[in-house]
Amino acid sequence: MHKEIQIKRYLPEEHAEPFWQTFRVPYDETTSVLGALNYIKEELDSTVSFRWSCRMAICGSCGYMVNGIPKLGCKDFVRNYPAALRIEPLAHFTVERDLMVAMDEFLQHLEAVKPYLIAEPSEPHKPHRQTPAQLAKYKQFANCINCGLCYAACPQFGLNPEFVGPGAIALAHRYNLDSRDQGKAKRMPVLNTHDGVWSCTFVGFCSDVCPKGVDPAAAVNQGKVESAKSMLIQMFRGGA
């Protein structure tokens, strides 16, 4: 079986504008979109550029738009596309070259929410206790692989790149919900701002495209409740 695959090329050293290029690729039931891209690079055109590594949907490198939907190339299959197959770089990110986008903004948002355990020093040689129920509260939000698909799905991030965005908010929420953490008060100021949780208009597409079932939309909306509470407390304290 063969498939025509169109790739949106961008080679700023040669062409000022992006252009589409079509490749004819053999495939079978097991061929992933990433597999097709590697075939193109090795057999047809070695200048086609894209990121990838683990090819098992855990490293988060290979996010692309496939027929307009953010997907992990290694976990999406050519067989899913009986008609056209068009691959583009992730939407809303700055395109550097071909399917490679700048990840720096995303990482800045990630850093801004202080995504690490903030706690008083504990007994140095002893683990905390955490029951399975306490673990279950945040575990889902700890499964984010930082692939950026949710940012490519988020219309608000598309309009306002300052928006902290679904992935980073999910991570803030992950630590806020962790029974070992005491850092919520330090994280909320970032989430309370206009560029924090309140930018979200609850489209929910971020959760639809998440390849790991993290449900960042739930995190953002639970974050809104927390944000409202924390702002009210600030108000009563006369801090707002």
Partner 1 sequence: MQQFEVLVVGGGGAGLRAAIAAAETAPEGRIALLSKVYPMRSHTVAAEGGAAAVTRADDSYAAHFADTVAGGDWLAEQGVVDYFVKQAYQELVQMEHWGCPWSRQANGDVQVRRFGGMKTERTWFAADKTGFHMLHTLFQTSLKHSNIQRFDEFFVVDLLVNDGEINGVLALEISTGELHAIQAKTVIMATGGAGRVFRFNTNGGIVTGDGMAMAYRHGVALRDMEFVQYHPTGLPGSGILITEASRGEGGVLVNKDGYRYLQDYGLGPETPLGKPENKYMELGPRDKLSQAFWQEQQRGRTGNYNGSDVVYLDLRHLGKDYLYERLPFICDLAKSYVNIDPVTQLIPIRPAVHYTMGGIETNAQTATSIRGLYAVGECASVGLHGANRLGSNSLTELLVFGRLAGEEAMRHARTSAPEMDQTKSAQTLRQWQQKLQTLTASKASGVTWVQLKRELVQTMEDGCGIYRTESGLQASLAKVRQLKQQYQQVQVGDTSRAYNTDLLQCLELEFCLDVAEAIVLASLERRESRGAHQRLDEGMTARNDQDFLRHSQVFFQSQADATLTWQAVDTSLSTPGERAYGAQGQQSEAR
Q: Which of 112, 142, 162 is nearest to 212 (CA)?
A: 142
What are 212's two structure tokens?
A: 């790991």
Figure out which of the listed residues 132, 237, 238, 239 binds partner 1, where binding follows CB under 8 A.
132
Instruction: Select 96 or 198, whichever has its Cβ closest to partner 1.
Output: 96
The Cα 240–Cα 231 span in angstroms is 7
Distance spanning both ends of the chain, measured CA to CA: 64
Q: How far is CA 125 from the centre of its chain?
A: 35
- How does strand 85-88 pair with strand 2-9? parallel
Q: Footprint of partner 1 on residues 139-198 (CB under 8 A)?
A: 139, 142-143, 145-146, 171, 175, 178, 180-181
Minimum distance of partner 1 from residue 106's CB (angstroms):
10
Burial 34-56 (b: 16+ CB within 10 A, else e): bbbbbbbeeeeeeebebbbeebe
Enumerate the β-bridge partners of residue 115: none
* Closer CB to partner 1, 85 or 113, in the complex: 113
Using the rule CB under 8 A, give the single segment among 17-25, 59-67, 84-92, 200-208 that binds partner 1: 59-67
Q: Given the rule CB under 8 A, which of 105-113, 157-165, 218-226, 231-239 is the region that contacts partner 1?
A: 105-113
8 vs 51, which CB is nearer to partner 1?
51
Report the interface residues with partner 1, using CB under 8 A.
Answer: 11-14, 29-30, 41-43, 45-47, 49-61, 75, 96-98, 100, 103, 107, 110-111, 114-117, 119, 122, 124-132, 134-135, 138-139, 142-143, 145-146, 171, 175, 178, 180-181
